[in-house]
């Protein structure tokens, strides 16, 4: 029987084509071993006992109940970096909109479309839309992950100075960064130095509302702030006040909230960051590959609720165990099997994933004994 996969949203055919002959798409979500999703809300969904994995074709996972999925032994994947180039290109477009009044100029042309002398009138009107060049200006980048690094490098190529901040920057991320990018030790240094600022961090308890009156007070007068990450990172009341008072020059965001639409100096886009054919294809293909790797080999790559674990391709009997993380987990599992050819166990917070390779297939009684170990949520024989 083929493995059933359900798509909650329209998923690029380039992604679903990678499922292969052992899989088929199903309209019955209760039958599905895996769910592919983009933006559909899943918090009120009840998950079937058949469900093993949820793969989000994108980076944000606030539409998925991560803790509940973990407790039910369901691995949730996302696709960090798959849409990074699409977002980078839109941020660069926003950077140019923040320096040149392109929106105002376009609106003037549309408003005067019926004027037979529009060409001559434009020569007089254009001074109202004069701007400044970004070359030689300083861009502050808050968050130097996949998107932040691409934005930083592109800005360097455009002749800008770049100062960035990321307290969690990994070694691979640092290696991706252009050596001309100055990395600050404090985010306050970025606020103070930048003519333009862009933010690329996840929405967590520690980052929500971080762009507030206190942060804005440290920024240069007339600075332009770009938000193509999450709407909740910015305190809208404080941003509105800064724009009204002339403290900041513009706020350009990919999130058209009611509050933003009341700000006169704000430019809002309808969440276009990853809305390119290429980004949707990249995300879908990455999501499918990660889901297949887990379903076929038990390996976990880019999960947001379980640890990364990789035992390679399953060459013989293999058992995958999802559980709570305990000090005696490996010992308990090994004792239940009696003898193992290999075992790998990793933890992420309170959640653990264990892959056990065996010389021969275990009995049903052995698998039941493993399932009875305290904290075990799922035992799956590949």
- pLDDT digits 0-9 by tens, 292-326: 999 999 999 999 999 999 999 999 999 999 999 99
Model confidence over 327-365: pLDDT tens digits?
999 999 999 998 899 999 999 999 999 999 999 999 999
User: Count of CB atoms within 10 A of residue 67's CB?
Assistant: 12
Mean pLDDT in residue range 185-198? 98
CA dist., res. 142 & res. 164, Å (int): 6
Query: pLDDT class for 288, splitting at 50, 70, 90?
Result: very high
pLDDT for the residue numbered 169: 87
Please give the mean pLDDT across all residues of the chain: 96
171, pLDDT greater than 90: no
202, pLDDT greater than 90: no
Mean pLDDT in residue range 132-144? 97
pLDDT for the residue numbered 52: 98
Q: What does the DSSP assignment read for 61-95?
A: -TTS-HHHHHHTT-EEE--TTTTHHHHHHHHHHHH
Percent above pLDDT 70 for the chain = 100
Token pair of 364 as six digits: 């049903």
pLDDT for the residue numbered 59: 84
pLDDT for the residue numbered 204: 87
Judge whether 223 and 200 are in contact, CB under 8 Å: no
Mean pLDDT in residue range 209-226? 98
Residues in the chain: 382
Query: pLDDT class for 198, splitting at 50, 70, 90?
Result: very high
Mean pLDDT in residue range 18-47? 96
Token pair of 55 as six digits: 């793969």
Percent above pLDDT 90 for the chain = 93
Between CA 327 and CA 165, with CA 206 as vertex, the angle to 5 degrees is 105
Query: pLDDT class for 1, splitting at 50, 70, 90?
Result: confident
pLDDT for the residue numbered 170: 83
pLDDT for the residue numbered 203: 87
Judge whether 54 and 69 are in contact, CB under 8 Å: yes
CA dist., res. 37 & res. 81, Å (int): 17
pLDDT for the residue numbered 173: 83
Mean pLDDT in residue range 185-202? 97
């Amino acid at each position: 029987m083929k493995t059933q996969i359900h798509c909650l949203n329209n998923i690029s055919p380039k992604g679903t084509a990678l499922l292969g002959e052992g899989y088929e798409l199903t309209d019955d979500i209760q039958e599905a071993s895996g769910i592919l999703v983009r933006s559909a809300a899943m918090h009120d969904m009840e998950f079937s006992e058949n469900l093993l994995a949820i793969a989000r074709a994108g980076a944000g996972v606030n539409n998925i109940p991560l803790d509940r999925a973990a407790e039910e032994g369901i691995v949730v994947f996302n696709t960090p970096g798959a849409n990074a180039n699409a977002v980078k290109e839109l941020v660069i477009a926003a950077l140019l909109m923040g320096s040149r009044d392109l929106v105002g100029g376009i609106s003037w042309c549309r408003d005067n479309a019926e004027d037979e002398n529009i060409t001559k009138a434009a020569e007089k009107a254009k001074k109202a839309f004069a701007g400044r060049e970004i070359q030689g200006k300083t861009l502050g980048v808050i968050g130097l992950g996949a998107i932040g690094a691409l934005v930083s490098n592109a800005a360097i190529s455009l002749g800008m100075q770049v100062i960035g901040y990321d307290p969690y920057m990994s070694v691979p991320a640092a290696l991706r960064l252009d050596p001309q990018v100055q990395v600050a030790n404090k985010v306050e240094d970025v606020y103070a130095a930048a003519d333009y600022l862009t933010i690329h961090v996840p929405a967590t308890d520690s980052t929500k509302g971080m762009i507030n009156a206190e942060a804005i007070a440290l920024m240069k007068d007339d600075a332009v702030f770009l938000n193509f990450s999450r709407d909740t990172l910015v305190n809208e009341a404080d941003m509105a006040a800064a724009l009204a008072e002339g403290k900041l020059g513009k706020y350009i965001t990919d999130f058209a909230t009611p509050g933003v639409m009341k700000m006169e100096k704000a430019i809002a886009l309808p969440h276009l960051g990853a809305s390119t054919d290429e980004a949707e294809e990249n995300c879908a293909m990455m999501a499918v590959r990660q889901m297949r790797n887990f379903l076929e080999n038990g390996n976990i790559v880019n999960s947001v609720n379980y640890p990364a674990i990789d035992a390679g391709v399953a060459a013989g009997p293999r058992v995958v165990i999802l559980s709570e993380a305990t000090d005696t987990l490996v010992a308990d599992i090994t004792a239940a099997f009696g003898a193992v050819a290999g075992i790998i166990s990793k933890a992420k917070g309170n959640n653990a994933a264990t892959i056990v390779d065996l010389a021969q297939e275990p009995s049903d009684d052995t698998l039941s004994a493993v399932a009875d170990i305290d904290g075990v949520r799922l035992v799956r024989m590949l």
